[in-house]
Amino acid sequence: MQFRCESWRWRSLLWWLAVLVVVVQLKHHYSIATAADLEWVFRPLSLLLEWFSGYEFHRDSNYEWFSQAADVRLVKSCAGINFMLMSFMAYAWVIRPHHYLRADPLSWITSHLLLLCAAIIASWVTCLLANSLRIIVAMTVKNLAWETDAIGIGAAEFHRLIGMMTYVPILSLQVMLGNRGNTRDAFVAPALLYFLLLVVVPLLSGNASQHPALFMKQLLHISVLMAVLGSIYFICVHLPASKRHQSTPNPGE
């Protein structure tokens, strides 16, 4: 029994080390990439936007995709790589090694390498779909001529808000479906993933000290996100569960 527990710990450690390698490599690739290097995201993303919105997209000499009719240009920040990383980590959490696995080491490594590749592909597809939805919502808001400055935020902040409102439910849905309806994890996972990627990583990489104003904005966004998710969980999940527990008659009474 002790050997099986130690084996599971080593397998779990190897799994998360592999996940960390993928995250670091993809994050590094994005940090130095040009628009041409992100063609694996922009080309399928432009096709999805064409299908969903009806606007045609074309690639210019800088490998940036744009739609003149929709007045939309897909620049590097539109790639959604940060969300892809969060989506990948959510999938990695769902398919993480469990105690009951008894496969021999070679079979386990082979199967989990395949699972790791599947998680990368799934996060790429999820990123494309979520990013398409985010951009279409932003295009709709622009077509409605909403004045974002009138509510005290600029266009960039409003786009970040649209992104958060799009990405958080999708991350929650990923975790909930993978964990068979575990509501608590579905609320905790998005906040934790945003905290890791937008707070912990900038602190470790030094970007927080190089861009303190941007880091403080991100910290404020994460704080608001955690407060909102915590309030929704408490009102919609914790309180009803407490009331059901209190209303259940005690067999000993």
Q: What are the tens digits of pLDDT across the range 171-192?
A: 988 888 877 666 777 888 888 8
DSSP 106-148: HHHHHHHHHHHHHHHHHHHHHHHHHHHHHHHHHHHHHHTT--G
Select, from the ranges 92-106, 155-169, 234-248, the one with the highest average predicted confidence (pLDDT).
Answer: 155-169
Residue 199, pLDDT above cutoff 50: yes
As a whole number of angstroms, the distance between CA 14 and CA 143 comes to 49
pLDDT above 70 coverage of the chain, percent: 80
Cβ neighbourhood burial of 120 (10 Å; 0-12, 13-18, 19+) = middle
Looking only at the bridges linking them, the beta strands covering 72-74 and 58-59 are: unpaired
Residue 85, pLDDT above cutoff 90: yes
Give CA angle at 188 (238, 121), nearest 5°.
Answer: 135
Q: What are the tens digits of pLDDT across the range 9-27?
A: 778 888 999 999 999 899 8
Which pLDDT value is given to residue 239? Answer: 59
Instruction: Quickly count: other Cβ atoms within 10 Å of residue 4's Cβ.
Output: 12
Band (pLDDT 50/70/90 cuts) for residue 130 is: very high
pTM of the predicted model as reported, rounded to 2 decimal places: 0.82
Phi first, then psi, for residue 119 (nearest 5°) are -65, -40
What are the boundaries of each domain within the chain?
Answer: 2-247
Q: What are the tens digits of pLDDT across the range 157-174?
A: 777 788 888 898 899 888
Which pLDDT value is given to residue 150? Answer: 46
Which pLDDT value is given to residue 215? Answer: 81
Which pLDDT value is given to residue 2? Answer: 44
As a whole number of angstroms, the distance between CA 131 and CA 166 comes to 8
As a whole number of angstroms, the distance between CA 66 and CA 237 comes to 43
pLDDT above 90 coverage of the chain, percent: 30
Average pLDDT, integer, range 83-95: 92
Phi first, then psi, for residue 237 (nearest 5°) are -120, -55
Band (pLDDT 50/70/90 cuts) for residue 204 is: confident
Which pLDDT value is given to residue 134? Answer: 92
Average pLDDT, integer, range 196-220: 82
